[in-house]
Chain A
Amino acid sequence: MTIPKKLVLVGNGMAGIRCIEHLLKLAPDAYSITVFGAEPHPNYNRIQLSTVLADGGAGLQDIVLNDWSWYEDNGITLHAGHPVASIDTAMRTVTSDQGVSASYDVLLLATGSRAYLLPVPGADKEGVIGFRDIRDCETMLEASRTYRRAAVIGGGLLGLEAARGLLNLGMDVTVVHNSALLMNRQLDPAASLMLQQELEQQGMKFRLNAQTAEITGRKRASGLKFRDGSRLDADLVVMAVGIVPNAELAAAAGIATRRGVIVGDELATSAPGVYALGECAEHDGIAYGLVAPLYEQGAVLAKHLAGVPTEGYKGSVTSTKLKVSGVDVFSAGDYMGGEGSRSLRWQDEVDGVYKKLVVRGDRLEGAVLFGDTSDGAMLFNLIKSGEPIAGREKELLLGFAPGSGGATAASPLERLAAMPDDEIVCGCNGVSKEAVVQAIVSGGCTSLGAIKACTKASASCGGCKPLVEGLLELTAGDAVVQVKEGICGCTALGREEIVEAISSMGLSGVRETMHVLGWSQPEGCSKCRPALNYYLGMLQPGSHRDEKESRFANERYHANIQKDGTFSVVPRIYGGVTSPAELKHIADVAERFRVPLVKFTGGQRLDLLGVRKEDLPRMWEELGMASGSAYGKALRTVKTCVGDTFCRFGTQDAMGMGIRLEKAYERISTPAKFKMAVSGCPRNCAEATIKDFGVVAIDGGWELHAGGNGGVKVRATDLIGVVRTEEEVMEWSGAFLQYYRETASWGERTAHWVERVGIGSIREALASAEERIALNERLQEALATLEDPWKEIVGDPELRKNFEPLAAAGREQA
């Protein structure tokens, strides 16, 4: 075995690490690799920094491309937080600012670029930053907590993404741009104006044709002064006018640089054994600032280093996609058009769509898309390949051949089907349609996540996600039908077979059920275990011991787990009707436990949020109220309007009816959460027609509605029938509830269940009085075994202990 050569990478960003990933695939043992990175982070996706701002910084972990363990798994030595201070090209060593040295046979410079800071007075003030790295993001997040006004200098891609991020953080944002047109280097005037309009609607402000002369303020920036003497107040100034390649390190080592580190087609610099790629490199006079060229360079260099023949790097044709919410913009190639070129335009101000193709001779030379960018990848391929498009120009623009009639416009799926196999779907990672289809067909990928893991398609900017999903639908559609789907990956059995088996064999307990029915995972998974626990409880109400270990955290702790690990407490307030004394009592308890947030829920209850787990039992004890089951697959709330008690339109006692329903069915386990409402008249102020079971009073009776949903997909209820008395409301609602409990799949809301089994079959099942009475008897049997879970935990130390941390006892050295 040969001794591996020493490879040192300076720069732990997307370009360098991408090249290393490639190299590891081509020649896994050829090099021993050391990486120096200036930032104290593993390699992350710089393109998605704007998404980090969108969620308040919570998603930093999501944009990490290679976590710490990746370096370890691949035997890479990483010096994170070590900017390299010097290179000795004679001794072939690099040294970090903290004095860590490494010698190399091959040195890769991927030092990237930094924000270009306008050389105006005041640019060094506090509160003036670029938008390049995690630290800039953190500064923005911090500033948004204290300050309100932000100015972004630069109306290009980066500037607009930064501005959108700051808007998300609740800041008042003005974009200052030196041209009259936003993104004037990527968009033609028509698209640029449409973009401006859209962003203005989102709340972004613009100061166009403005030349910044000075950043004013004392220690910290307080505003901008323009050349025409006008001013703009700003407590945070983000410079996004351009980038400067980080070439100083190379220059200091005597390596040839101009704007960037000069490289040839093999990405070699003027020094032996030293290569440069990414935003710090200048090839053929161009230093690229987009990800696709960097990846192309990385691929060429990796092949070269692995000894695989390549044609060398020949420069890149670039395309741009803007990723700010609600705006789809794409541009590629020569989008302005000039002498000797012709252009085709389609502008639809109704739907906000604009398309422009620039054609020279019989070739497509450039394209701009606004509002609908689904053709971007296809057009970009045509531009890159340079294939003749004569006669197809209009089809390319409109998505269908004129003369065939607009009605036959190809659907996105048809267009995907017609896409050539070698066409690139994911521009960032260079993944072709064929590669995605292969991953589905031979790789067995059946989800976007699996395809992403397998091919990296849609793993960078995410813009091609709809295409990848389309291919999945197109390719895996039939396969899914052929495979018999069990309730989860542990079994091929469906809901009916499982319920049938439990009943006929009298199986008891989740464990026995999984064992007898031949589960592939002996202890199941988070999908089947709660389902089995539910079915067992439903079929054996008297004898099944509810298994808390097979319930989600919410149902185990009888409170809603929040993203920070705290819980929320919703006490039962029947019908949403309370009293001054009860409110005072809740307020007292909330104050005693320093509850950080009190909120009214959508279901007319009080939500006490941010409670520490160890405080829950004591808090319940002091509240002395029943659990509102706001966390469970159970009856949530019965929402009511005032009804005839006070309302001049009310025809019945809606509050009384609601309270009676809630008291009757609280605590019952259901396949999915179950919401009810009672309205006192057809004005329906309690919104009963989007509930699982809704009751609407009419003069002299009650309408019974079922299968509504106000959540992900709004569904109005179907009418089950009209009854005259409160007793009948109880009889029908109980029968409906039990029928749903007995026939729906675990996790299936009534809206889906009604659509699956048909409202007709439900009406039929509830039609006979005997059947309704029998259903109600079974429901009562289940209800009889239930106790208030809060009370139960409060009084049982064995249950209560799970809310406390284990006491960390004495420590002893081994």
Chain B
Amino acid sequence: MSRHRVGQAGQIDALGSRIAVVGGEEIALFKLTDGEVLAVENRCPHKGGKLSEGMVCGSAVHCPLHDWKIDLRTGQAQAPDEGSVRTYAADVDADGSVWVETAERPDAASALEAARGAGTAPASASGREGRP
């Protein structure tokens, strides 16, 4: 597990989003109406749309490409669509810094890259139990 400071909460508009690249992964950071910041993998499980460009409603975002609705807390697509994005723990400290936690997976970037090449994003890599 490692924590990364990715910026100041004030740099994200309410109901808006900014991206940060951490360890080769593009993460979308969203600020909800109440100021809470949530972070997910910036890639819709449907056609890879950039969720950071989507419309934020409550704690969900609508993908800008085909309007899939992704829950920013669970990463799950709303039924009947199926699929999920990776979520990251994010918090804002007393100084207003935004922190994101990533699992210590040195191969994460290359795995993501490989999966992109094959066109089958490991929507939630944690689901690949037993993978060496």
Known: A44-B120, A68-B128, A526-B62. A61 touches B2 (CB 8 A): no
| Interface contact B3-A68, CB-CB below 8 Å | no
- Which residues 1-49 of B sit at the A interface, judged by CB distance below 8 A? 1-7, 11-16, 18-22, 29, 33, 45-49
Interface 0/1 of B43-74, CB less than 8 Å to A: 00111111001111110001011010100000
* A808 at the binding interface (Cβ < 8 Å): yes
Q: In the complex, what residue of chain B is closest to A549 when comparing beta carbons? A: B15
Closest CB of chain B to A24's CB: distance in Å? Answer: 16
Contact check: which of B1, B53, B82 meets A67 at CB < 8 Å?
Answer: B82
- Which residues 383-442 of A sit at the B interface, judged by CB distance below 8 A? none
| Interface contact B3-A552, CB-CB below 8 Å | no
Contact check: which of B16, B54, B127 meets A69 at CB < 8 Å?
Answer: B127
* A529 at the binding interface (Cβ < 8 Å): yes
* A810 CA to B99 CA, complexed, in Å: 11
Question: Which residue, of A40, A64, A553, has the highest number of chain B Cβ atoms within 10 A?
Answer: A553
Residues in B whose Cβ lies below 8 Å from that of A450: 80
Residues in B whose Cβ lies below 8 Å from that of A530: 55
Residues in A whose Cβ lies below 8 Å from that of B121: 61
Residues in B whose Cβ lies below 8 Å from that of A522: 58
- Which residues 100-132 of B sit at the A interface, judged by CB distance below 8 A? 101, 118-132
Known: A69-B127, A78-B130, A526-B62. A811 touches B3 (CB 8 A): yes
* A449 at the binding interface (Cβ < 8 Å): yes
Contact check: which of A69, A79, A523 meets B58 at CB < 8 Å?
Answer: A523
Known: A77-B129, A810-B5. A549 touches B14 (CB 8 A): yes
Residues in B whose Cβ lies below 8 Å from that of A52: 119
| Interface contact B128-A806, CB-CB below 8 Å | no
| Interface contact B124-A549, CB-CB below 8 Å | no
Residues in A whose Cβ lies below 8 Å from that of B84: 67, 69
Residues in A whose Cβ lies below 8 Å from that of B123: 67-69
Interface-facing stretch out of A156-164, A311-319, A557-565, A762-770: A557-565
- Which residues 138-162 of A sit at the B interface, judged by CB distance below 8 A? 138
Known: A40-B118, A67-B123, A138-B118. A557 touches B6 (CB 8 A): no
Q: In the complex, what residue of chain B is closest to A511 when comparing beta carbons? A: B33
Contact check: which of B6, B55, B120, B130 meets A526 at CB < 8 Å?
Answer: B55
| Interface contact B79-A805, CB-CB below 8 Å | no
* A454 CA to B130 CA, complexed, in Å: 30
Residues in A whose Cβ lies below 8 Å from that of B11: 801, 806
Residues in B whose Cβ lies below 8 Å from that of A523: 15, 33, 56-58
Residues in A whose Cβ lies below 8 Å from that of B62: 525-526
Closest CB of chain B to A172's CB: distance in Å? Answer: 25
Residues in A whose Cβ lies below 8 Å from that of B4: 808-809, 811-812
* A52 CA to B47 CA, complexed, in Å: 13
* A85 at the binding interface (Cβ < 8 Å): no
Closest CB of chain B to A449's CB: distance in Å? Answer: 4
* A550 at the binding interface (Cβ < 8 Å): yes
Interface 0/1 of A515-543, CB less than 8 Å to B: 00000011111100110000000000000
| Interface contact A78-B6, CB-CB below 8 Å | no
| Interface contact B16-A549, CB-CB below 8 Å | yes
* A138 CA to B120 CA, complexed, in Å: 12
* A523 CA to B54 CA, complexed, in Å: 14
* A550 CA to B33 CA, complexed, in Å: 13
Q: In the complex, what residue of chain B is closest to A809 when comparing beta carbons? A: B5
Known: A449-B80, A524-B57. A61 touches B21 (CB 8 A): no
DSSP class of B's interface residues: helix, strand, loop or mixed? Answer: loop
Known: A561-B53, A814-B101. A67 touches B45 (CB 8 A): yes
| Interface contact B120-A61, CB-CB below 8 Å | yes
* A530 CA to B6 CA, complexed, in Å: 30
- Which residues 260-301 of A sit at the B interface, judged by CB distance below 8 A? none
| Interface contact B101-A549, CB-CB below 8 Å | no
| Interface contact B55-A78, CB-CB below 8 Å | no
* A382 at the binding interface (Cβ < 8 Å): no
Residues in A whose Cβ lies below 8 Å from that of B29: 806
Interface 0/1 of A71-82, CB less than 8 Å to B: 111001111110
| Interface contact A77-B119, CB-CB below 8 Å | no
* A437 CA to B42 CA, complexed, in Å: 39
* A789 at the binding interface (Cβ < 8 Å): no
Residues in B whose Cβ lies below 8 Å from that of A62: 46-47
* A40 CA to B48 CA, complexed, in Å: 19
| Interface contact A58-B55, CB-CB below 8 Å | no
* A786 at the binding interface (Cβ < 8 Å): no
Contact check: which of A79, A452, A524 meets B130 at CB < 8 Å?
Answer: A79
| Interface contact A553-B54, CB-CB below 8 Å | yes
| Interface contact A68-B124, CB-CB below 8 Å | yes
Q: In the complex, what residue of chain A is closest to B98 when comparing beta carbons? A: A806
Closest CB of chain B to A522's CB: distance in Å? Answer: 7
* A461 CA to B14 CA, complexed, in Å: 43
* A680 at the binding interface (Cβ < 8 Å): no
* A526 CA to B15 CA, complexed, in Å: 12
| Interface contact B13-A802, CB-CB below 8 Å | yes
| Interface contact A549-B56, CB-CB below 8 Å | yes
Residues in B whose Cβ lies below 8 Å from that of A809: 4-7
* A112 at the binding interface (Cβ < 8 Å): no
Contact check: which of A61, A64, A78, A452 meets B47 at CB < 8 Å?
Answer: A61
| Interface contact B55-A80, CB-CB below 8 Å | no
Residues in B whose Cβ lies below 8 Å from that of A554: 64
* A4 CA to B2 CA, complexed, in Å: 37
* A660 CA to B92 CA, complexed, in Å: 52
* A98 at the binding interface (Cβ < 8 Å): yes
Q: In the complex, what residue of chain A is closest to B29 when comparing beta carbons? A: A806
* A60 at the binding interface (Cβ < 8 Å): yes
* A480 at the binding interface (Cβ < 8 Å): no
Closest CB of chain A to B98's CB: distance in Å? Answer: 8
| Interface contact A553-B64, CB-CB below 8 Å | yes
Residues in B whose Cβ lies below 8 Å from that of A61: 45-48, 83, 119-121
* A453 at the binding interface (Cβ < 8 Å): yes
Known: A72-B124, A806-B11. A67 touches B57 (CB 8 A): no
Q: In the complex, what residue of chain B is closest to A801 when comparing beta carbons? A: B11
* A100 at the binding interface (Cβ < 8 Å): yes
Residues in A whose Cβ lies below 8 Å from that of B46: 61-62
- Which residues 785-812 of A sit at the B interface, judged by CB distance below 8 A? 801-802, 804-812
Contact check: which of B33, B118, B129 meets A72 at CB < 8 Å?
Answer: B129
- Which residues 679-718 of A sit at the B interface, judged by CB distance below 8 A? none
* A77 CA to B67 CA, complexed, in Å: 32
* A521 CA to B49 CA, complexed, in Å: 24
* A245 at the binding interface (Cβ < 8 Å): no
* A449 CA to B121 CA, complexed, in Å: 22
Closest CB of chain A to B15's CB: distance in Å? Answer: 4
| Interface contact A521-B57, CB-CB below 8 Å | yes
Closest CB of chain B to A37's CB: distance in Å? Answer: 11
| Interface contact A529-B2, CB-CB below 8 Å | no
Residues in A whose Cβ lies below 8 Å from that of B55: 526, 529-530, 549-553
Residues in A whose Cβ lies below 8 Å from that of B7: 806-809
Residues in B whose Cβ lies below 8 Å from that of A449: 80-81
Closest CB of chain B to A580's CB: distance in Å? Answer: 36
Question: Which residue, of B2, B45, B62, B128, has the highest number of chain A Cβ atoms within 10 A?
Answer: B128
* A487 at the binding interface (Cβ < 8 Å): no
| Interface contact B19-A806, CB-CB below 8 Å | yes
Question: Which residue, of A42, A68, A80, A812, has the highest number of chain B Cβ atoms within 10 A?
Answer: A68
* A76 CA to B128 CA, complexed, in Å: 10
Pull 18 A–B residue pairs with CB atoms less than 8 Å apart, ordered by A: A42-B120, A62-B47, A67-B45, A71-B127, A71-B129, A76-B129, A77-B129, A449-B81, A453-B82, A525-B69, A529-B55, A565-B50, A802-B18, A806-B12, A808-B4, A810-B5, A811-B2, A812-B3
Q: Which 10 A-B pairs have the closest CB atoms?
A: A60-B119, A68-B127, A453-B80, A72-B127, A526-B62, A549-B15, A806-B7, A553-B53, A553-B64, A814-B3
Known: A67-B82, A814-B2. 18 other contacts (CB 8 A): A59-B47, A61-B120, A62-B46, A71-B129, A72-B124, A134-B120, A453-B80, A525-B57, A526-B57, A549-B16, A554-B64, A556-B53, A563-B49, A806-B20, A808-B7, A809-B7, A811-B4, A811-B22
